[in-house]
Structure 1
Amino acid sequence: MDTEPFDMEALADELHAIVPGFSGLHAIEKFNTGQSNPTYRVEADSGRYVLRAKPPGTLLKSAHQVDREYRVMKALAENNVPVPKVFALAPEDSAIGRMYFVMELVEGRIFWDPALPGMTPEERASVYDGMNDVLSRLHSVDPEAAGLADFGRSGNYFARQIRRWSEQYLASKTEDLPDMDRLMDWLLDNMATDDGLVRVVHGDFRLDNMIFSAHGEKVLALIDWELSTLGHPLADLAYQCMQWRLPHASGFRGLGGLDRADLGIPSEEEYVARYAERTGIAVSNWSFCLAFSFFRLAAILQGVYKRSLDGNASNPERAREIGKAVPLLASMANDVIAGKA
């Protein structure tokens, strides 16, 4: 972790004022992992907390809205979805000069390698079933009943997202990538029909955005809600299933090239079928959903890469590395739509 040059006295006064029961700020240190919103461990007499803030510098429109993260986590905590408890939201003119929120520090394990080395096949199967269960629980929440009816726009979710991420990709573009151009055109020409199904979608649903209990038997918290909105649940499912296709021997830490059956990890088909059984949601237009997910991730990573060049990335070295992955993602998406994967 890195120490941030905050005005500790001002921050301590502010946290005491807005966080119930807060007292005695000792230290605040930045977690080195993560690329979206800078996240910090807060040590105090009253306990340990997590502070999540907007990044410094000029930001892309509609990005890094920590107030949305705060809102959705607060609502889902009351609807059988495991999320950290949130305590307070600070405004843009906060003691650190940026909007931030404070939540509980959930102690547990984060698995960075989806192959789950050191585990038995039965333990790996339990981890993957736990992820499937949490995604199913999230997509079983009625947004209106949870007070989130206005958490996203109405209309075709895929159309909105393709438009949004095309704009953000073009705004952060650093070189010409014909595969990305072809992919954007194909998605627009093969748009999935709006079936009216709307749920809260996490937007970055993957293994390392979950905190597990000691042996992986239970998901304690689903974290990093920056990209959450109202949308089509199959977008979350397809996004996670990219992991089955991405290469393991890469920064993506995918499952591609591994003997998943030997490891005890379900196949993509088995994982999708279990989700459909739990939620009652029919899985259709799968190639479109996958291609959309590859495109969206490529656009996100292009933004991370551009921020690294501008000096605003949360983890500059890692940002430059994953920025180079954009051509691979675009190529893999083109393979999906060509029926090669």
Structure 2
Amino acid sequence: MSDTAVVGIATEAVTAWVSGIVPEFAGPLTFERIGLGQSNLTYLISDASGRRWVLRRPPLGALLASAHDVAREARILSALEHSAVPVPRVLAVTDDPSVTDAPLVLMEFVDGLVVDRMTVAEELTPGQRRAIGIRLPRTLAAIHAVDLAEVGLVDLASHKPYALRQLTRWSGQWERSKTREIPDLDDLTRRLLANVPEQREVTLVHGDFHLRNLITAPQNGDVRAVLDWELSTLGEPLADMGSTLAYWSEPGERTSGDFPATQLDGFPNRAELVEMYLAETGRDPAALKFWHALGLWKVAIIAEGVMRRARDDPRNKAAASTPTVERVDALVAAAMAVAADAGI
């Protein structure tokens, strides 16, 4: 396979690198872009015997600082390898310019079901959907229960108040990646800043926890791996639950674009997810409303950024459709409604 056959990968150089890590592979390696991710790029590597591995690299083109640090993501995965949080095992990391123009992470392939397309979600029975759905809050609770000192992640990020860090970071991202002005989003930013709840603890935060970022067992819904840790940090655990709720649409809502999977029969609704997570953790339901609003606000900014990257460099487009102006506007409207309901 020539070096130009797969966008973003110099296949001959990467094959030579992989051979030093898994020298027992059979025959030539093949590389295939996989997943629906429109941020860091993911590739499936296969050998002639059917063995498989996964490769990750940052997106192509100009990047926002620290937004796509795959080496940092690899550090988090390695730290969690022996924890209660299921993650793929990292095999190697390189930024050798003779191999790649950007850092690469090689990891094990985890077999299982990824509910990342409507066709996949529609093929599941209502019972299977519910089995997967009820494991999301439990898995999130396990992430938030990780002993930071034990796994070596105490210094992963700042321990300063998380809400202000998030609002500062993502409002900055908005200014650098927006394609137009949205006065309602700017207004919501001001309101969120004025209504930050007290932070009572600091835990590991995944930062982008939703259905598409899980590999599950089709037989019983168990989570085999949590993926896409590029936004992970230390902070308020309720922020993760707020993001999960932001992605979890219900019938009639337009916030999920072309992937309204959670509206299908069987998946628990948001109220059930909240009840299960709070039962597991005992955390504050009132503060969670703030984080739900902030989660929608952040997802809107992320979607706008994906739209901007795809516009600036079409090679970053993935199998999922690029977010639209209509979806971003729906997310902002939903965030305004949740904020108003919470008295923000």
Q: Normalising by structure 1, report the TM-score.
A: 0.89
1:140: how far off? 1.0
Answering whether residue 194 of structure 2 is matched by residue 192 of structure 1, we say no
The unaligned stretches of length 5 or more in structure 1 are: none
Aligned to 2:181: 176
SS of 2:184's equivalent in the other structure is: helix
Q: Is the 8 A contact 2:207 2:232 kept in 1?
A: yes
Answering whether residue 150 of structure 2 is matched by residue 145 of structure 1, we say yes
Aligned to 1:220: 224
Q: CA, structure 1 residues 77+170, in 2 after alignment: closer, same or farther (shift >3 Å)? A: same
- Aligned length in residues: 335
SS of 1:293's equivalent in the other structure is: helix
Aligned to 2:273: 271
SS of 1:82's equivalent in the other structure is: coil
- Superposed CA deviations along residues 81-117 of structure 1, whole A, max 9, x for unmatched, are 1111110011162512110100111111111368943
Name the CA distance, whole Å, in 2 between partners of 1:315 and 1:96.
Answer: 20
Q: CA, structure 1 residues 213+316, in 2 after alignment: closer, same or farther (shift >3 Å)? A: closer
Aligned to 1:309: 311
Q: CA, structure 1 residues 308+119, in 2 after alignment: closer, same or farther (shift >3 Å)? A: closer
- Superposed CA deviations along residues 275-304 of structure 1, whole A, max 9, x for unmatched, are 122233333323211111011111111111
Aligned to 1:111: 115
Name the CA distance, whole Å, in 2 between partners of 1:237 and 1:27.
Answer: 38
Aligned to 2:19: 16
Aligned to 2:74: 70
Instruction: Out of 310-319 and 143-152, give the one that drifted further.
Output: 310-319
Instruction: Out of 124-133 and 20-29, give the one that drifted further.
Output: 20-29
The unaligned stretches of length 5 or more in structure 2 are: none
Aligned to 1:164: 169
Q: Is the 8 A contact 1:313 1:319 kept in 2?
A: no
Q: Sequence identity, in percent? A: 35
Name the CA distance, whole Å, in 1 between partners of 2:246 and 2:117.
Answer: 14
Answering whether residue 95 of structure 2 is matched by residue 88 of structure 1, we say no
Q: Counterparts in 2 of 1:294-305, with a 5 A limit? A: 294-305=296-307
Q: Is the 8 A contact 2:206 2:240 kept in 1?
A: yes
Q: Is the 8 A contact 1:126 1:216 kept in 2?
A: yes
1:24: how far off? 4.3
Answering whether residue 30 of structure 2 is matched by residue 27 of structure 1, we say yes
Q: CA RMSD in A?
A: 2.7
Name the CA distance, whole Å, in 2 between partners of 1:43 and 1:317.
Answer: 20
Q: CA, structure 1 residues 255+316, in 2 after alignment: closer, same or farther (shift >3 Å)? A: closer
